[in-house]
Structure 1
Amino acid sequence: MAEPRVPGGRGAKLELPCGESVHVHDLDMGMREYDCDCGDNHAVVTDVHPPSRFVPEFLVNVLRETVETDDDLGEFGTAHIMGVVLEEFPGEVVSENVEDDQDVGYALVWLTDFDSRRLHEIVVELIVELMEHAVSHAENDDAMTEFEEEMLDFDVSEFVEQYRSERDFSGPHDRAV
């Protein structure tokens, strides 16, 4: 007997921003992009992808030490990053909670209307904004001035290009969280 396709249930189907749809069983934990029938690639992120997919582990550690979360997702991680992306781009990101579907290996999945490289740039931009906001609350004008000066020399595209070329996705920090 066929299982019904219900939101959040086994075999959930995601309606993509481009108008196409994809079953969560067509998405695996190692997938970073979905080659869509619309002709575009859509970034794929699951909750088991480490935040170091986007930024170095030392920065992930700093974020975990400084960003307080008040949800049941635990310390600052990929789910929080994607929550910020979803908040900034609500029409360009779809997500699904599939924790009841033990066949997929992840509990949360996000797909974006943009490819994984563009998503990477967006995540870095949003993390820089988060850091700037945190520094502004430090009540230290010198720290804010220094941060702003450092950011004048920071090129998001260049950082993403270098990080993606050097990142070892099979390294010790690229593990399920």
Structure 2
Amino acid sequence: MSQPRVPGGDEHTIELPCGQTIAAGTLDLGMREYECDCGETHGVVMDVHPPERFLPEFLVEVLREAIETTSEEMPEFDTPHLLGVVLEEFPEAVTAHDASENADVGYAMVWITEFDSRRLHEVVVELVVELMEHAVSHADDDEALSSFEEEMVEFDVAAFVDQYRAERDLEAEDPYA
């Protein structure tokens, strides 16, 4: 969990979900996982990573059209919103670090998770499906809700993540883990 800055503390260090501490500069923009001294692999997401890292472009477009943000700094749905949902659901498993005052790192926000990048990908997809189901339930259309629920019974998150990661990695010069 992110810690408030303490006067005199080192604002350029990040406490990971496992309790280890690293320098903010340890992370580079291409990093999707961090091999920690604790023996675990932590998923890493930065605000500069596109939401298409986790979701197909068409779905990101639908989410951008459907979700109204209230932030002037982030006027459209983007990666920080996805990780905000993960942080809300798993507060003890995610460290959020504001690096906006540290021009040396190249990112403004970073989220480091207890999960590795593959499990994080599954968590993001599961939470987006829950958000979609919630939205459909508010449409006052029982047939749409029933149809959505039927399709989701057959939806295999792990298989989707495997397929999406394989397709995305074939097409990308810089694959997102």
CA deviation profile, 1:130-157 (whole Å, cap 9, x unmatched):
0001111111111101100100110001
More helix per residue: 1 or 2? 2
Q: How many angstroms does 1:37 deviate by?
A: 0.5
- For 1:74-89, what aligned pairs fall within 5 Å after superposition? 74-89=75-90
Partner residue in 1 for 2:156: 155
TM-score with structure 1 setting the length? 0.89
Q: CA deviation at 1:6?
A: 2.9
Q: What does residue 6 of structure 1 align with?
A: 10
- Give the structure 2 partner of residue 25 of structure 1: 25
1:2-151 → structure 2 map (5 Å cutoff): 6-7=10-11, 12-71=12-71, 72-151=73-152
Q: Secondary structure at the match of 1:158?
A: helix
In 2, distance between residues paired with 1:136 and 1:109? 32
Q: Secondary structure at the match of 2:48?
A: coil
- Cα–Cα, structure 1 residues 93 and 68, in superposed 2: closer, same or farther, change >3 Å? same
Unpaired runs of 5+ residues, structure 2, are 1-7
Percentage of matched positions with identical amino acids: 59
Runs of 4+ in structure 1 displaced over 6 angstroms? none
Which deviates more, 16-25 or 60-69?
16-25
Q: TM-score, normalised by structure 2?
A: 0.89
Question: In 2, are the aligned partners of 1:96 and 1:109 still within 8 Å (CA)?
Answer: yes
RMSD: 1.8
Letter of the structure 1 residue corresponding to residue 26 of structure 2 = D
Return closer, same or farther for 1:170/1:102 CA change in 2, 3 Å cut-off: farther
Name the CA distance, whole Å, in 2 between partners of 1:111 and 1:124. Answer: 17
Q: For residues 161-172 of structure 1, what are the structure 2 equivalents within 5 Å?
A: 161-168=162-169, 171=172
The alpha carbon displacement at 1:22 in A equals: 1.2
Runs (5+) with no aligned partner, structure 1 = none
The total of aligned residue pairs comes to: 167
Cα shift at 1:168: 3.7
